Amino acid sequence: MDRRTFIVAATATLASTFFHGSQAFAKGQIVQLPDPVTTGGKPLMDCLAKRHTDRSLKGGAITMGHLSTLLWSAWGINRSDGRHVVPTAHNKQQLQLYAVLGDGVWLYEPKTNSIVKVLDDDQRSRFDGASVILLYAAPIDDMFAGMHVGSMYQNVGLYCAANGVPNCVKHTNHGVLDTSLPLPKGWRVYISHSLGEYPH
Ligand SMILES: Cc1cc2nc3c(=O)[nH]c(=O)nc-3n(C[C@H](O)[C@H](O)[C@H](O)COP(=O)(O)O)c2cc1C
Protein backbone atom coordinates (compact mmCIF):
# COMPACT_ATOMS: atom_id res chain seq x y z
CA MET A 1 0.00 0.00 0.00
CA ASP A 2 1.17 3.50 -0.79
CA ARG A 3 2.36 5.47 2.17
CA ARG A 4 -0.39 7.34 3.85
CA THR A 5 -0.37 11.07 3.53
CA PHE A 6 -2.51 12.07 6.40
CA ILE A 7 -1.19 15.51 7.33
CA VAL A 8 -1.63 16.82 10.82
CA ALA A 9 -1.78 20.61 10.82
CA ALA A 10 0.70 22.55 12.90
CA THR A 11 -1.69 24.07 15.32
CA ALA A 12 -1.04 25.43 18.75
CA THR A 13 -2.58 22.26 20.12
CA LEU A 14 -0.15 20.14 18.17
CA ALA A 15 2.76 22.22 19.38
CA SER A 16 2.14 21.01 22.88
CA THR A 17 1.43 17.40 21.94
CA PHE A 18 3.79 14.83 23.38
CA PHE A 19 4.99 11.68 21.64
CA HIS A 20 4.00 8.89 24.00
CA GLY A 21 4.85 5.24 23.66
CA SER A 22 1.61 4.55 21.81
CA GLN A 23 0.74 3.88 18.18
CA ALA A 24 -1.20 7.14 17.77
CA PHE A 25 0.42 7.60 14.37
CA ALA A 26 0.49 4.85 11.73
CA LYS A 27 3.58 3.98 9.71
CA GLY A 28 3.71 6.22 6.62
CA GLN A 29 1.90 9.05 8.33
CA ILE A 30 3.32 12.56 7.88
CA VAL A 31 3.23 15.06 10.71
CA GLN A 32 3.76 18.75 10.04
CA LEU A 33 5.94 20.13 12.83
CA PRO A 34 5.42 23.58 14.35
CA ASP A 35 7.90 26.19 13.19
CA PRO A 36 11.32 25.76 14.82
CA VAL A 37 12.60 28.50 17.11
CA THR A 38 15.47 29.96 15.09
CA THR A 39 16.23 33.12 17.04
CA GLY A 40 17.43 33.95 20.53
CA GLY A 41 18.65 31.41 23.01
CA LYS A 42 21.91 31.23 24.94
CA PRO A 43 24.88 33.13 23.44
CA LEU A 44 27.10 30.99 21.22
CA MET A 45 30.19 31.32 23.42
CA ASP A 46 28.21 30.11 26.45
CA CYS A 47 27.05 27.09 24.44
CA LEU A 48 30.60 26.28 23.38
CA ALA A 49 31.72 26.61 26.99
CA LYS A 50 28.92 24.30 28.17
CA ARG A 51 28.98 21.59 25.49
CA HIS A 52 29.77 18.27 27.10
CA THR A 53 28.74 14.62 27.19
CA ASP A 54 26.21 13.69 29.87
CA ARG A 55 25.00 10.09 29.97
CA SER A 56 21.84 10.74 32.06
CA LEU A 57 19.79 9.86 29.03
CA LYS A 58 16.54 8.39 30.32
CA GLY A 59 13.48 10.60 30.39
CA GLY A 60 10.00 11.38 29.24
CA ALA A 61 8.55 12.27 25.87
CA ILE A 62 9.62 15.26 23.81
CA THR A 63 7.16 17.96 22.76
CA MET A 64 6.54 18.67 19.08
CA GLY A 65 7.96 22.15 19.55
CA HIS A 66 11.24 20.89 21.02
CA LEU A 67 11.45 18.16 18.39
CA SER A 68 11.03 20.68 15.59
CA THR A 69 13.82 22.95 16.84
CA LEU A 70 16.08 19.97 17.62
CA LEU A 71 15.74 18.51 14.12
CA TRP A 72 16.14 21.92 12.52
CA SER A 73 19.38 22.41 14.49
CA ALA A 74 20.74 19.20 13.01
CA TRP A 75 19.56 19.35 9.40
CA GLY A 76 17.15 22.23 8.90
CA ILE A 77 17.11 24.59 5.94
CA ASN A 78 18.26 28.04 7.02
CA ARG A 79 18.20 29.99 3.74
CA SER A 80 15.68 30.67 1.00
CA ASP A 81 17.90 28.93 -1.57
CA GLY A 82 17.38 25.62 0.22
CA ARG A 83 20.78 25.33 1.89
CA HIS A 84 21.13 23.85 5.34
CA VAL A 85 22.44 24.67 8.81
CA VAL A 86 25.17 22.11 8.02
CA PRO A 87 27.55 22.63 5.07
CA THR A 88 28.06 19.77 2.62
CA ALA A 89 30.80 19.31 0.03
CA HIS A 90 29.63 20.67 -3.34
CA ASN A 91 26.29 21.31 -1.60
CA LYS A 92 25.32 17.70 -2.36
CA GLN A 93 23.18 17.52 0.79
CA GLN A 94 23.56 13.74 1.06
CA LEU A 95 22.38 13.32 4.63
CA GLN A 96 19.35 11.86 6.35
CA LEU A 97 18.19 12.38 9.91
CA TYR A 98 15.98 9.94 11.81
CA ALA A 99 14.44 10.43 15.26
CA VAL A 100 13.86 7.31 17.36
CA LEU A 101 10.95 8.17 19.67
CA GLY A 102 8.67 6.28 22.02
CA ASP A 103 6.15 5.45 19.32
CA GLY A 104 8.51 4.54 16.50
CA VAL A 105 11.12 5.96 14.16
CA TRP A 106 10.58 9.10 12.10
CA LEU A 107 12.44 10.54 9.09
CA TYR A 108 12.91 14.31 9.07
CA GLU A 109 11.88 16.09 5.86
CA PRO A 110 13.67 19.47 6.05
CA LYS A 111 12.01 20.95 2.95
CA THR A 112 8.59 20.78 4.59
CA ASN A 113 9.69 20.80 8.25
CA SER A 114 7.76 17.58 8.73
CA ILE A 115 8.42 14.05 9.86
CA VAL A 116 7.23 10.79 8.35
CA LYS A 117 6.88 7.68 10.42
CA VAL A 118 9.05 4.93 8.97
CA LEU A 119 9.03 2.27 11.72
CA ASP A 120 6.46 1.33 14.34
CA ASP A 121 7.07 0.43 17.96
CA ASP A 122 9.46 1.73 20.58
CA GLN A 123 12.93 0.87 19.24
CA ARG A 124 14.89 2.87 21.81
CA SER A 125 15.98 -0.14 23.88
CA ARG A 126 17.85 -1.42 20.83
CA PHE A 127 20.16 1.54 21.35
CA ASP A 128 20.51 2.69 24.94
CA GLY A 129 16.94 3.47 26.00
CA ALA A 130 17.51 7.22 25.85
CA SER A 131 14.55 9.58 25.71
CA VAL A 132 15.26 10.55 22.09
CA ILE A 133 17.85 9.02 19.77
CA LEU A 134 18.92 10.72 16.55
CA LEU A 135 20.41 8.67 13.72
CA TYR A 136 22.68 10.40 11.21
CA ALA A 137 22.82 8.63 7.83
CA ALA A 138 24.86 9.20 4.68
CA PRO A 139 26.22 7.27 1.67
CA ILE A 140 28.83 4.63 2.48
CA ASP A 141 31.09 5.74 -0.38
CA ASP A 142 30.95 9.49 0.37
CA MET A 143 34.44 10.46 1.55
CA PHE A 144 32.94 13.50 3.28
CA ALA A 145 30.15 11.63 5.11
CA GLY A 146 31.92 11.51 8.47
CA MET A 147 32.56 15.25 8.30
CA HIS A 148 28.96 16.01 7.40
CA VAL A 149 27.65 13.81 10.18
CA GLY A 150 30.10 15.38 12.62
CA SER A 151 28.70 18.79 11.72
CA MET A 152 25.21 17.54 12.55
CA TYR A 153 26.16 16.12 15.94
CA GLN A 154 28.12 19.22 16.84
CA ASN A 155 25.10 21.41 16.03
CA VAL A 156 22.96 19.18 18.22
CA GLY A 157 25.57 19.21 20.99
CA LEU A 158 25.45 23.01 20.98
CA TYR A 159 21.65 23.00 20.88
CA CYS A 160 21.70 20.67 23.90
CA ALA A 161 24.17 22.94 25.70
CA ALA A 162 21.87 25.87 25.01
CA ASN A 163 18.86 24.05 26.41
CA GLY A 164 20.38 22.03 29.26
CA VAL A 165 19.64 18.68 27.60
CA PRO A 166 21.94 15.75 28.52
CA ASN A 167 23.36 14.12 25.40
CA CYS A 168 25.93 11.64 24.15
CA VAL A 169 27.11 10.80 20.64
CA LYS A 170 27.30 7.00 20.42
CA HIS A 171 29.00 4.58 18.09
CA THR A 172 27.73 1.61 20.08
CA ASN A 173 24.70 -0.03 18.38
CA HIS A 174 24.39 2.84 15.90
CA GLY A 175 23.61 0.48 12.99
CA VAL A 176 21.00 -1.81 14.55
CA LEU A 177 18.16 -0.45 12.38
CA ASP A 178 20.09 -0.17 9.12
CA THR A 179 18.27 -3.08 7.50
CA SER A 180 14.84 -1.78 8.60
CA LEU A 181 15.13 1.92 7.78
CA PRO A 182 14.20 3.25 4.31
CA LEU A 183 17.80 4.23 3.62
CA PRO A 184 18.70 4.98 0.01
CA LYS A 185 20.72 2.15 -1.58
CA GLY A 186 24.32 2.29 -0.42
CA TRP A 187 23.61 4.43 2.64
CA ARG A 188 24.07 3.61 6.32
CA VAL A 189 23.71 5.18 9.73
CA TYR A 190 27.14 6.53 10.68
CA ILE A 191 26.53 7.41 14.31
CA SER A 192 23.70 7.89 16.80
CA HIS A 193 23.11 10.71 19.27
CA SER A 194 21.17 10.05 22.46
CA LEU A 195 19.33 12.78 24.34
CA GLY A 196 17.91 12.81 27.85
CA GLU A 197 15.12 14.87 29.30
CA TYR A 198 14.63 18.60 28.89
CA PRO A 199 14.89 20.51 32.18
CA HIS A 200 11.50 21.37 33.67
C1 LIG B 1 32.30 9.72 17.16
C2 LIG B 1 32.02 9.54 18.64
C3 LIG B 1 31.64 8.29 19.10
C4 LIG B 1 31.31 8.12 20.45
N5 LIG B 1 30.84 6.90 20.86
C6 LIG B 1 30.48 6.74 22.16
C7 LIG B 1 29.89 5.52 22.60
O8 LIG B 1 29.70 4.58 21.82
N9 LIG B 1 29.54 5.42 23.90
C10 LIG B 1 29.70 6.45 24.78
O11 LIG B 1 29.34 6.29 25.95
N12 LIG B 1 30.23 7.63 24.40
C13 LIG B 1 30.62 7.80 23.11
N14 LIG B 1 31.12 9.01 22.68
C15 LIG B 1 31.24 10.13 23.63
C16 LIG B 1 32.71 10.34 24.00
O17 LIG B 1 33.12 9.33 24.90
C18 LIG B 1 32.84 11.73 24.61
O19 LIG B 1 32.55 12.70 23.64
C20 LIG B 1 34.28 11.92 25.10
O21 LIG B 1 34.48 11.18 26.30
C22 LIG B 1 34.62 13.38 25.36
O23 LIG B 1 33.72 13.92 26.32
P24 LIG B 1 32.96 15.28 26.00
O25 LIG B 1 31.98 15.02 24.87
O26 LIG B 1 32.27 15.63 27.30
O27 LIG B 1 33.97 16.29 25.58
C28 LIG B 1 31.43 9.20 21.35
C29 LIG B 1 31.83 10.46 20.86
C30 LIG B 1 32.10 10.63 19.51
C31 LIG B 1 32.48 12.00 19.02
Tell me the pLDDT tens digit for each residue of 108-139: 999 999 999 999 999 999 999 999 999 999 99
pLDDT category, 24, cuts 50, 70, 90? confident
User: Which among 168, 174, 190, 193 is the best mutation to test ligand 1's pocket, defined by most ligand atoms within 8 Å of the CB?
Assistant: 168
Closest ligand 1 atom, residue 55 Cα: 11
Residue 193 Cα to ligand 1 middle (Å): 10
Residue ranges per structural domain of the chain: 7-195
Ligand 1, atom 22: nearest CA belongs to which residue? 53
Q: What is the mean pLDDT of residues 84-99?
A: 98
**150-180: b (≥16 Cβ within 10 Å) or e:** ebbbebbbbbbbbbebbbbbbeeebbebeee
Residue 52 Cα to ligand 1 middle (Å): 9
User: Which among 155, 170, 174 is the best mutation to test ligand 1's pocket, defined by most ligand atoms within 8 Å of the CB?
Assistant: 170
Residues 102 and 157 sit within 8 Å (Cβ to Cβ): no
Q: Answer yes or no: CATH 3.40.109.10 is held by domain 7-195.
A: yes
- CB 52 near ligand 1, within 6 Å: yes
pLDDT of residue 124: 98
What average pLDDT does the chain have?
91
- CB 172 near ligand 1, within 6 Å: yes
pLDDT category, 200, cuts 50, 70, 90? confident
Q: What is the mean pLDDT of residues 77-91?
A: 98
